[in-house]
Structure 1
Amino acid sequence: MVDAEYEIVNVVLSVSYKDVEFDLEKIASNLEEARFDPEIYPGLTYRVSEPKATFLLFTTGNVNCMGAKTVEGAEKAVEKLTSKLQNLGFDVEEPEAVVRNMVASVDFHRGFDLEEIARNYHYAEYNPEVFPALVFRWEDTNVVILLFVEGEGVCVGAKKKEEIEKAIEWISETIESINS
């Protein structure tokens, strides 16, 4: 049994509005929480507080949504954005939205000997002079877990909660085998 707890802290969606070109100046001047400075960055940043999310909008109709804590929250934020864009006169329908990344903080309830783990597993990278965490990658997945000596971790690259849970279980079993 795995004695670890996790909390999703960020969900990233890529959103595609078909056959539309956004006038970012128009959006920026009409949405209070929008920021657009094309000399610094080509996208418009728009923040919403309920549900909490941040959007990056591009003239192409592509949008990134980040900062939500759940997929459902991100999807609700996209619905609100779509409604606001429609109210501004853009001919947008429900967009295609794809989960690109879920980030979770993990508490393994134990400390780790990162050097020992790195010696025993070829898919573990540890260079404390460059970065304080051990980076655990394994084949056939985009999921990566960063392990810290205190027993905390960060899971990135998952597209579903089940991938986070599977990665935590796998890491826990892998680490346990070192102590056996």
Structure 2
Amino acid sequence: MSETGFTGDGALEIVNVIGWVSYRQELDLAALRDTFETRSEITDATYKPAENHWLQTNFAPDDTYVAFYRSGKASITGVDSVAQFEDVVSRVNTVMRDLLEFDFTPESQVSNIVVTTTVNTNISLEALALELGLERVEYEPEQFPALIYRDQESDAVILVFSSGKLLCTGLADLDTISSTVSEFTARINPVT
């Protein structure tokens, strides 16, 4: 399924794309922060090693969150499409190429896409927990307002709210996400 198929009424909507880039070398995070503070492409650079072991940054123009780790990896989160993720990777690579002077294309990968959808009806979470089997679900309404379903075939995690809202996480391929959510909604349809 194309990314554009994830918008519209009742369809899947991407709410977060998470991924990483690898620079194949150890990073001096304090020095990187000092350099980032002088770059207009970066709207914020925070490194407090006593609190976090990573450098927290935001890249302009949309303040996308990018965390840099001493291992040479950077994680990107908070974008709402794979195309936007690739654009951010390109912008980050441009800045890092200036600083590290590497002559390779850094490896990057989407590691998780979070989507939501609605099934247009209220759901009895108690009945759904019994229908899906207690070995596949977690449902403790006094601690969390959603049923948590773990799909054994795809390794997806689907949160089901009584309002009919679903949130799917744990997958990185749009086609797999689409088929997993479609199969799940078809399975729960008789329960709703």
Structure 2 contact 14–115 (Cα < 8 Å) conserved: yes
Classify 1:119/1:89 alpha carbon distance in 2 versus 1 (closer, same or farther; 3 Å).
closer
Pairing of 1:10-159 with structure 2 (within 5 A): 10-18=16-24, 20-32=25-37, 33-50=44-61, 53-91=64-102, 93-122=104-133, 123-159=136-172
Query: In structure 2, what is the Cα distance between the partners aligned to 1:147 and 1:163?
Result: 18
User: What displacement does 1:65 show?
Assistant: 1.1
Structure 1 contact 106–154 (Cα < 8 Å) conserved: yes
Cα deviation digits, residues 135-160 of structure 1 (max 9, x gap): 11121222111010011111101111
Query: In structure 1, what is the Cα distance between the partners aligned to 2:60 and 2:148?
Result: 33
Structure 2 contact 124–191 (Cα < 8 Å) conserved: no
Query: In structure 2, what is the Cα distance between the partners aligned to 1:43 and 1:90?
Result: 21
Letter in 2 for 1:160: D
TM-score (norm 1): 0.89
Classify 1:149/1:50 alpha carbon distance in 2 versus 1 (closer, same or farther; 3 Å).
same
Letter in 2 for 1:11: V
Structure 1 contact 52–67 (Cα < 8 Å) conserved: no
User: What displacement does 1:97 show?
Assistant: 1.1
Deviates more, 1:28-37 or 1:38-47: 28-37
Query: In structure 2, what is the Cα distance between the partners aligned to 1:171 and 1:117?
Result: 11
User: What displacement does 1:90 show?
Assistant: 4.1
| Identity across matched positions, percent | 27
Letter in 2 for 1:114: L
Runs of 4+ in 1 over 6 A off after TM superposition: none
Aligned to 1:170: 183
Classify 1:87/1:156 alpha carbon distance in 2 versus 1 (closer, same or farther; 3 Å).
same
Query: In structure 1, what is the Cα distance between the partners aligned to 2:101 and 2:16?
Result: 28
Structure 2 contact 123–191 (Cα < 8 Å) conserved: no
Structure 2 contact 149–158 (Cα < 8 Å) conserved: yes
Structure 1: where are the runs of 5+ without partners? none
TM-score (norm 2): 0.84
Deviates more, 1:113-122 or 1:52-61: 52-61
Classify 1:93/1:50 alpha carbon distance in 2 versus 1 (closer, same or farther; 3 Å).
farther
User: What displacement does 1:80 show?
Assistant: 0.8
- How many residues of Structure 1 are paired with residues of Structure 2 in the alignment? 176
Cα deviation digits, residues 64-100 of structure 1 (max 9, x gap): 1111111121121111111111222443632111221
Letter in 1 for 2:17: V
